[in-house]
Homo-oligomer: A and B are copies of this chain.
Amino acid sequence: MASTSHDRVVRPDNGQRWPLANALRALSMHAVQQANSGHPGAPMGMAEMAEALWHRHLKHNPAHPQWWDRDRFVLSNGHASMLLYALLHLTGYALPMDELKRFRQRGSLTPGHPEVDHTPGVETTTGPLGQGLTNAVGMALAEKLLADEFNRPGHTVVDHRTWVFLGDGCLMEGISQEAISLAGAWQLGKLVALYDDNGISIDGAVTPWFADDTAGRFRACGWQVIGPVDGHDVDALDAAIHAAKAQNAQPTLIICRTTIGKGSPAREGTAKAHGEPLGEAEIAATQAALGWTAAPFEVPADLAAEWDARSRGADAEGAWRSRWAAYRKLFPAEAAALERRMAGTLPASFEADWLSTVAQVQQRAQTVASRKASQLAIAEAARRLPELLGGSADLTASNLTDWPGCGAVRGGAPGGRHLNYGVREFGMAAVMNGVALHGGFIPFGGTFMTFSDYSRNAIRMAALMNRRVIHVLTHDSIGLGEDGPTHQPVEHAASLRLIPNLDVWRPGDAAETFVAWGSALQQAHRPTALLLSRQNLPALTRTPEQTAAIHRGGYVLSERPQPLATLIATGSEVALALQAQALLDARGLPVRVVSMPSTTVFDRQDAAWRQSVLGRHGPRVAVEAGSSKLWAAYGCSAVLGLDRFGESAPGPALMQALGFTPEHLAALVAEEIGREPQIERSSN
């Protein structure tokens, strides 16, 4: 194998540790070139940062990426994906060179941006800037809470760090402020961020639009700031990382002064290095400048050997396994609990237990707001699931996300299972994603439903990453009343339902709320949004069969013989539909009422169920105090919905003024019955 032999590498003789980093540069620039797409500048600029961390500090075992006491590494500037793929390949993860050659091709393990669960060793999906850093805050938080809960004197079984690489794009995004403010307040001392301070963003040299004193900003938020250090001096970076690790009271930012595209004579230090291949000629010039003579996608054997972290990784995990065995012997219950929680499985008894809880709730027939029913469900769940980690974006007493004995999570103090996220909806959502990615907890967080707009892309990311994160979105319609159109969701239920892999529930009473919570907790690989009312909702009467059918997302709540129409309702409008049904009964127009708390769950039911619920005869009419536009997909020919903004007024008055009355709904249904010829439907 001459191509990987030592003698083909011309080493610089100035004592600098170039070669290890240059393997990252070479792989990155060649992979981008081969794909004719991608970002060479950031990987080349961060090569020494990567060498210093991954070769000298990172605790991981490439043979076992799921070892849960590993350090977490987050590439928040996810466009630098080739850096991460090169690191994973070189350190010994199951990412063969052939996959690097297939960078950005369909079905490869090397997509354009890193994707968790797709490539071994990738901890989170990044690309949308600022969120990786925020995920890392969630991971560090989870580590800290688990360490507090499970470590015992002399038995430290949870003890790992969270490392982040980030660029100025991440720091310009507002969510970064939410992240660093929370990390500071929570005193996440084992979180270390390395800032690729290259002074260049896509539009050019950043000072005209990014003039922040970043060190000052982080210090103002309670961070230790180290540097600026020379980001191409591995020993200086190594020393900075040592300093970061020397204290665990504050999160640390290491400012690394780097040159984007470092090594490329014509492109380094320019915005052009960011997002386009260097081109063959410039690659040749770069190789010449670096003294790199290996062929594309070949790494000299001695470099490959030095990068290979499998042996050190096995040792690190082995040492932990000994500690874990000792812990397990002394603390078997704790060990079993931790293993279960890290596996993300619920206690075996949970499902049956929850079914009987739902039955009790149905029997109790309480009139409560669904946000209050949600709080009752949380309390019930928390008794069984110590992994519940709640929170609210500064609306705890409105979202009702806390529960008896939950305790508040506080920086500098152990314990607590409820987080005050402050007014930071997006940060909350992305922190929850990080918690879920880390494992050991099921995170949920509350805000007003309208402000799901703020957190929307993090909700999407949870869906894309298949993570169990639960969004408690209260004040779910104009029914919230006086706060007015800025606070009243209109298009939000429909727009959340459009996000692939997100379950959306809008329960109609306490029993449906409990079922929604049960579903959210049991969906281990998808997020859920719970849309909950501010106002009270009457308990709905159900047979045991109907109660059992709630979990299908849609079911017939009130049947009629020979019905002339089907009336489909969600949430606070289910009671309205029943009132309209009674009015229509009196007019000799029998209609069935379907409760549809979750269209997304209903969509996954078999065709026979869907058909039986939606009805084969007569028109279908939907009612929901929100956008009408998705209901045609369920065969509805009319919708009592809301396709305009709300108004400030008491909730009941507003509902009335905007047409959400039994009389209006009954009239609408009667009109549809009169309009439609009685044809048989062949599909929904």
- Which residues A107-150 have CB closer than 8 A to chain B? 107-108, 111-113, 115, 125-130
Query: Does A329 reach chain B (CB closer than 8 Å)?
Result: no
- The answer on a CB contact under 8 Å between A208 and B420 is yes
The oligomer's copy count stands at 2
- Contact, CB under 8 Å: B500 / A645: yes
Query: Judging by beta carbons under 8 Å apart, are A112 and B491 in contact?
Result: no
Nearest B-chain residue to A410, judged by Cβ: B208
Known: A172-B422, A481-B37, A490-B500. A113 touches B648 (CB 8 A): yes
Decide yes or no whether A364 CB sits under 8 A from chain B: no
A-B contact pairs, 22 of them (CB 8 A): A104-B649, A106-B650, A107-B647, A111-B648, A115-B484, A128-B453, A170-B423, A173-B424, A174-B174, A174-B175, A184-B212, A211-B222, A215-B220, A216-B217, A217-B220, A220-B220, A453-B457, A454-B457, A490-B500, A495-B498, A500-B643, A500-B645
Residues A150-181 near B (CB distance < 8 A): 168-170, 172-178, 181
Judge whether A464 and B645 touch: CB under 8 Å: yes
A629 to B649, CA, bound (A): 32
Check A106/B210 contact, CB under 8 A, given A202-B398, A500-B644.
no
Q: Is the CB of B209 within 8 A of A220?
A: no
Interface size of A in residues (CB-CB distance below 8 Å): 110
A572 part of interface (Cβ distance < 8 Å)? no
Specify which chain B residues have a CB less than 8 angstroms from the CB of A453 in the assembled complex.
128, 456-457, 460
Tell me the nearest residue of chain B to A682, going by C-beta. B675
Binds B, one of A40-48, A258-266, A388-396, A548-556: A388-396
- The complex places the Cα of A491 from the Cα of B650 at a distance, in Å, of 33
Closest to A275 in B: B398
Which of B106, B210, B644, B650 is in CB contact (< 8 Å) with A654?
B106
> Interface majority SS on A: helix, strand, loop or mixed?
loop
Contact A174 B424, beta carbon cutoff 8 Å: yes
A104 and B482 within 8 A (CB): yes
Contact mask for chain A residues 363-386; partner B; CB cutoff 8 A; 1 contact, 0 none? 000000000000000000000000
Contact of A486 among B168, B176, B201, B464 (CB under 8 A): B464
| Contacting pair B491 A498 (CB below 8 A) | yes
Q: Judge whether A411 is part of the interface by a CB distance below 8 angstroms.
A: yes
A232 at the interface (CB under 8 A from B): no
Give chain B nearest CB distance to A454 CB in angstroms: 6
Task: Tell me if A220 and B213 are in contact (CB < 8 A).
Answer: yes
List residues of chain B with CB within 8 A of the CB of A220: 212-217, 220
Bitwise, A577-615 to B at CB < 8 A (1) or not (0) is: 000000000000000000000000000000000000000
Q: When chains A and B are docked, how far (Å) is the Cα of A123 from the Cα of B294?
A: 64
In the complex, A471 has a CB within 8 A of chain B: no
Cβ contact within 8 Å between A127 and B629: no
Rounded to whole Å, the gap between the CB of A39 and the closest CB of chain B is: 10
Chain B CB within 8 A of A445 CB: no
A632 in the interface, Cβ–Cβ < 8 Å?
Answer: yes
Residues on B with C-beta less than 8 A from A170 are: 423
Contact of A423 among B172, B487, B490 (CB under 8 A): B172
- What 0/1 readout, one digit per residue, does chain A (176-212) give for beta carbons within 8 Å of chain B? 1110011011000000000000000111101111111
Whether the pair B172, A424 counts as a contact (CB closer than 8 A) is yes
A627 at the interface (CB under 8 A from B): yes
Indicate whether A397 reaches chain B with its CB closer than 8 angstroms: yes
Q: Is the CB of B643 within 8 A of A486?
A: no
Q: Please tell me if the beta carbons of B112 and A483 are within 8 angstroms of each other in the complex.
A: yes
Structural contact, B106 and A486, CB atoms closer than 8 A: no
In angstroms, Cα B352 to Cα A667, docked, is 47
In the assembled complex, the Cα of A181 lies from the Cα of B451 at a distance in Å of 23
- Structural contact, B396 and A202, CB atoms closer than 8 A: yes
Is there a chain B Cβ closer than 8 Å to A505's Cβ? no
A408-B106 CB under 8 A given contacts A203-B392, A456-B453, A500-B490:
no
Q: Is A52 an interface residue (CB 8 A)?
A: no
Instruction: Provide the bound-state CA to CA distance between A217 and B218, in Å.
Output: 8
- Chain B residues in 8 Å Cβ range of A175: 174
Please give me the 6 A-B residue pairs with the lowest Cβ-Cβ distance, nearest first.
A174-B174, A111-B648, A106-B649, A216-B220, A127-B486, A177-B177
Distance in Å from the Cβ of A3 to the closest Cβ of chain B?
28
Q: A127-B486, A500-B643 are in contact. List 13 more A-B contacts (CB 8 A).
A: A35-B482, A111-B647, A112-B487, A128-B451, A169-B394, A181-B210, A201-B394, A203-B396, A204-B420, A213-B221, A214-B220, A450-B457, A491-B498
A501 within 8 A of partner (CB): yes
What residues on B are CB-neighbors of A321 within 8 Å? none
Q: Across the interface, which residues of B come within 8 angstroms of A498, CB to CB?
A: 491, 494-495, 627, 629
Please, how many angstroms separate the alpha-carbon atoms of A104 and B654 in the complex?
A: 11
Q: Out of B37, B185, B643, name the residue touching A210 (CB < 8 Å).
A: B185
Contacts of A215 in B (CB 8 A): 220
- Closest approach, in angstroms, between the C-beta of A639 and any C-beta of chain B? 9
The answer on a CB contact under 8 Å between B127 and A37 is no
Whether A484 lies near B113 (C-beta < 8 A) is yes
CA distance A450 to B464 in the complex (A): 13
Contacts of A327 in B (CB 8 A): none
How long is the Cα–Cα vector from A500 to B494 in the complex, in angstroms? 13
A340 contacts chain B at the CB level, 8 A cutoff: no
The verdict on A37 contacting B630 (CB below 8 Å), with A220-B220, A654-B106 known, is no
Is A16 interfacial (CB 8 A cutoff)? no
Name the distance in Å between A479's Cβ and chain B's nearest Cβ.
14
The CA of A221 and the CA of B222, in the complex, are separated in Å by: 17
Which of B394, B426, B648 contacts A203 (CB under 8 A)? B394
Complex interface: chain B residues within 8 A of A182 (CB)? 209
